[in-house]
Structure 1
Amino acid sequence: MNEIAMAIAVVKSITLVLGGGITYIAVKAYRRTGEKSLRALSIGFGIITLGAAISGIANQLFSVSLEIGVFVNSIFVACGLAVILYSLYIQ
């Protein structure tokens, strides 16, 4: 594994831990309050975190090219951000 691949694996791991933590806290807040916006917020962060995990696993285990991995991750980030934007809009 070269230096760039190792750096990507480290950053993806950090993203997975932080995103998982944010998603967990948002789910706990939703369960406590029942607010639909918090449910949507947790789904949005979950989508972003899932995209980071999937693209990293695909790159490391299945030899998917870096370009395809970045593209897939970008799709997940865009979808997750759209859900987060929606969570901020709903009452």
Structure 2
Amino acid sequence: MDRISAIIVGAHTVISVFGGAITVFAYRAYTRTRSKQLKALAVAFGVCTVGTLVSLGGHQLGLLALLEAVALQSLAIAAGFVLLAYSLQTGYSATSPTGHSTR
């Protein structure tokens, strides 16, 4: 394995470990609260993490060229970011705890 491949594998490993942990934490929070925002957050991080794992695995197993793996990972991260934005906007209310508009 050359130096660049080792860096890519190392970075993907960190992304997979911490992305997986964040996904689990968000899912646990969702199961406690049944908040659709937390469910969308868990799915968003899950999509990013799984996309990273699949692209790395596909490349390391020789099923995907490097450029194809990068394209797959980019698509997964783009989809995850769309879901992340959705999770942050879903159920947003611009009212204060007293019920008055904050705008």
- Same fold, judged at TM 0.5 (above): yes
Structure 1 segments unaligned to the other structure (5+ residues): none
Please list every run of 5 or more consecutive structure 2 residues that lacks an aligned counterpart in the other structure.
Answer: 92-103
Confirm or deny that 1:67 pairs with 2:58: no
Provide the residue aligned with 2:95 in structure 1: none
Q: Once superposed, what is the RMSD of the aligned Cα atoms?
A: 0.8
The aligned residue for residue 53 of structure 1 is 53
Q: Secondary structure at the match of 1:64?
A: coil
TM-score under structure 1 length normalisation: 0.96
Q: State how many pairs are aligned.
A: 91
Correspondence for 2:24: 24
Greater alpha carbon shift after TM alignment, 55-64 vs 66-75: 55-64
**Matched residue type, 1:7:** I
Q: Distance in 1 between the 2:27 and 2:70 partners?
A: 27
Secondary structure of the equivalent of 2:30?
A: helix
Distance 1:13 1:34 in 2: 30
Superposed CA offset, 1:2-46 (max 9, x none): 111111111101100000000000001001111000000000000
**Higher helix proportion, which one?**
1
Q: Distance in 2 between matches of 1:25 and 1:64?
A: 31
1:49 counterpart letter in structure 2:
T
Residue of structure 2 equivalent to 1:9: 9
Larger radius of gyration: 2
Identity %: 35
Which has the higher relative contact order, 1 or 2, with Cα contacts under 8 A spaced 6 or more apart? 1
Measure how far apart 1:63 and its partner are. Answer: 4.6
Given residue 75 of structure 1, which amino acid in structure 2 is its aligned partner?
A: L
Q: Which range moved further: 60-69 or 6-15? A: 60-69
Per the TM alignment, residue 62 of structure 1 is displaced from its structure 2 partner at its CA by 2.1
